[in-house]
Amino acid sequence: MGRFTPKVRVAIVGPSSARDQRRILLQSLRSEQKTQDRSGYVPDFPGFEAVFGAEFVPAAAPTQLTLPESLSDGADPAEEVAQALRAALATLAAMRDQFDLAVFHLPDAWSHGTRTNEFDAHHLLKGLAAPLGIPTQVLNDRTFAVEQAAARAWRLGIAAYVKAGGVPWKLAPLDGVPAESAYVGLAYGFRGNPRNAEFVTCCSQVFDADGGGMQFVAYDARDIDDLDAVRRNPYLSRDDMRAVMAQSLELYQRRNGGRLPLRMVLHKTTAFTDGELEGALDALAAVPEVECINITPHVSWRGVWLRASKDPSQKSEPDGYPVRRGTMVPMSGTQGLLWIAGSVGGVSTRGNYFQGGKSIPAPVLFERQAGSGSLDLAAVEMLALSKMDWNNDALYDPAPVTIRYSQRLANTIAQVPDLPRAAYPYRMFM
C-alpha cells in the first residue's frame, strides 16, 4: 500500500458529544499499545505506521461530519437513521478525493433505530456506501470501553488498512496447488422477506492466492420453477449457475490479465444439486481443474485427542488439549471430517494454544461432489482459507473464509434489495 499513498486519511461521522472519545481512540492506533488480553498469543501493537508502513491521520476538516445526538420522538427511528446515513454519505461523496476511510459512530442513543427485525443500519450503510466507492468502519459506544487496548488496536488497525486498499497477508504457496488457483464461495439469500421474496440472491465471492482478488458479485435468480421449494432450500438452476460462475470467472480474469485459473474450487454449505454442478462445469469448461465441495460447519461429531498413558496398565489417556487443528478423518472416498478449530502448537509463549480456551471443538464435514483431487488437498486449502479473514485478528476462523464472507455478504445484500447489481471489492462490506 505504501507504493500508492503514504497515509490513510480518516473521515469521521458521529455525534459531537463523543468527539474527544473518538479522537483518543483513533490516536491510540498511532502509538504502541501493550497487550493485556491473550498475552500468550497477541503481541504488543507497535503503532499503525510501524505495522503497515502508512501514516494514520485525520482527513481534512470538511470531512469531519456531525450526527444528531439522539433520534426524534414520534418519528420512525429506522427511517430517521437511514436518512441521516444517506445525508452523510452524500456529503462525503462530494469530497471523495479527500479521505481513504469513513468512520461512522452510531451511538447507543440510536439503538432503538439501528437494528430491528427488518432493518440493520450496519448493512444499510455498507449497501449505500459501496456504489459510491466509500469504505466504512462502524463504531459503537462499546468500542470506547474495551480495556484490551492492544487487541482493539490490532482489530481496528487491520480493518482500517484493508478498507483503505491494503493487503495485510496472503496465501502462502501450497504443495500440490497451482499458483494460478481461484476460490469461490457461494451463499444464498432472499430479496426482502423470504416468505414473499420473488428472487433468490446468490452471492459469489472470488479469491485468488495473492489475496487481492477478494471481490463478489450478487446475482438474482430468474429461472425458478418451484419458488416454494427454493424458499425452503435455496438453489440455482443450471442456467443461473452457469451465469453466476461465468461472472465469477470473469472477475478472476479481469485481475489476472485475461488468464484462466489452472484450478478453481467452489465451496457452499448446502449440497450442490445436479443442475448446479452441470451449470458450474458448463461455465468452467476451460479451467483444467474444478472442485465442487459442500462444507457443513455444524455437525454432531466430536473427538478426543489421546496420548500415551502414564499408567503402565493403560495404553492411552485423554490429552489436556483438544484434537489438533488440521486433523482430517476420511469418512469415505469423497467425505471427510476436518478439525479447523483445535489445539495449535508453536504460536504461543505458553505451549499449546486453543482459541477460545473452552468447549470441545467440532469438526466440519466436507464432501467433494465434483473433481478428482485428494481429500488431503481439499483439507489443506480449507485450513489455509480459514486464516484469510481480514476483518479478524484471531488465529483462524472456524470455517473457510469462502463460507464466512459469502454468508455475510448474502445477509447484507438481502437487507439492501436496491443495491445495484455489480462487482464490488469485499472491503466495501467489511
Q: Is the pLDDT of residue 156 over 90?
A: yes
Average pLDDT over residues 231-252: 85
Q: Between residues 167 and 3, which one has the greater pLDDT?
A: 167
The mean-pLDDT minimum among 147-151, 227-231, 302-306 falls in 227-231
- pLDDT value of position 53: 92
- pLDDT value of position 415: 67
Arithmetic mean of pLDDT over the chain = 86
- pLDDT value of position 195: 63
DSSP assignments along 140-172, one per residue = -HHHHH-S-HHHHHHHHHHHHHHHTT-----PP
Average pLDDT over residues 194-204: 62
Q: Is the pLDDT of residue 232 over 70?
A: no
- pLDDT value of position 3: 44
pLDDT-based confidence at 202, cuts 50/70/90?
A: low
Query: What's the pTM?
Result: 0.86
Q: Is the pLDDT of residue 187 over 60?
A: yes
Give the domains, in start order, of the chain with CATH numbers: 7-163 (3.40.50), 181-429 (3.30.420.10)
pLDDT-based confidence at 127, cuts 50/70/90?
A: confident
pLDDT in tens, 326-380: 999 999 999 999 999 888 887 776 777 777 777 788 999 999 999 988 899 999 9
**Partners of 337 in the beta sheet?**
329, 365
The mean-pLDDT minimum among 147-151, 194-198, 275-279, 301-305 falls in 194-198
**Partners of 41 in the beta sheet?**
none
- pLDDT value of position 132: 93
Cell of 41: 498469543
pLDDT in tens, 58-75: 999 999 999 999 998 877
Average pLDDT over residues 78-105: 96
Question: 385: part of which helix (H) or strand (E)?
Answer: helix 375-385
The mean-pLDDT minimum among 44-53, 169-178, 228-237, 250-259 falls in 228-237
Q: Is the pLDDT of residue 39 over 70?
A: no
- pLDDT value of position 425: 81
Measure CA 401 to chain center. Answer: 6
| Residue 267 backbone phi and psi in degrees, to 5 | -120, 140
7 DSSP assignment: E
- pLDDT value of position 293: 96
If you count them, how many residues does the chain have? 430
- pLDDT value of position 81: 95
DSSP assignments along 51-112, one per residue = HHSSEEEE--GGG-EEE-SSPPSSS-HHHHHHHHHHHHHHHHHTTGGG-SEEEEE--GGGHH
Q: Is the pLDDT of residue 83 over 60?
A: yes
Q: Is the pLDDT of residue 157 over 90?
A: yes
Percent of the chain with pLDDT over 70: 87
Q: Is the pLDDT of residue 234 over 70?
A: yes
Instruction: Give the number of other Cβ atoms within 10 Å of residue 112's Cβ.
Output: 13
Tell me the CA distances in angstroms from 183 to 200, 264, 290, 381, 382, one per residue in order: 22, 6, 10, 9, 10
Q: Is the pLDDT of residue 2 over 50?
A: no
Q: Is the pLDDT of residue 133 over 80?
A: yes
Q: Between residues 380 and 5, which one has the greater pLDDT?
A: 380
- pLDDT value of position 1: 41
d(CA 170, CA 148): 27
- pLDDT value of position 238: 92
User: Do the Cβ atoms of 178 and 263 come closer than 8 Å?
Assistant: yes
**Partners of 265 in the beta sheet?**
183, 291
